[in-house]
Amino acid sequence: MLELMLLRRLLPIAVVVMVFIAFPALAAPPAPEGNIWLDQADARLAGGVSYGDTVTFGWELEAKNRDYYVTIRVVCYQGSDQVYWWAGSPDSAFPLRDQTPDGSWWNGGSATCTASLMASQNHKHILTVAQTHFDVVGAAG
């Protein structure tokens, strides 16, 4: 009797496992892999990034059997205060400055930033594929 009860409980799990083994297309697609880096080819950025600079990013994305829409999002903080948020296409230039009309107030001081390589399909299931961190030196006052 105990064996029959155990079999009844395990049978649905076994069926689901067999379906995913027999039909791998039903399983979740593998997440894309990638990399993002601050493009410092511009000579003026060689000494670091300063408030007011405009930065661009290099990136790569490896996604098997899937078409992804790729964006880059840059977020900067001064301590725990978010002072910058900007998203754009991978070929966008990101101006590191105050965005007061957009709701962020950056006083020109130093900040810590993160650029994220984002991938989505049909603007759903947005994934953070890779990140890079960089510091912004405040403007000379």
Q: Would you state the pLDDT for residue 30?
A: 65
Q: Which residue has the higher pLDDT, 48 or 122?
A: 48
Say if residue 25's pLDDT is above 80.
no
Q: Domains, the chain, ranges and CATH?
A: 29-137 (2.60.40)
Q: Would you state the pLDDT for residue 62?
A: 87
The rounded distance, in Å, linking the Cα atoms of 120 and 129 is: 10
Give the model confidence (pLDDT) of 89-136 as tens digits.
999 999 999 887 765 689 889 999 999 999 988 777 788 999 999 999
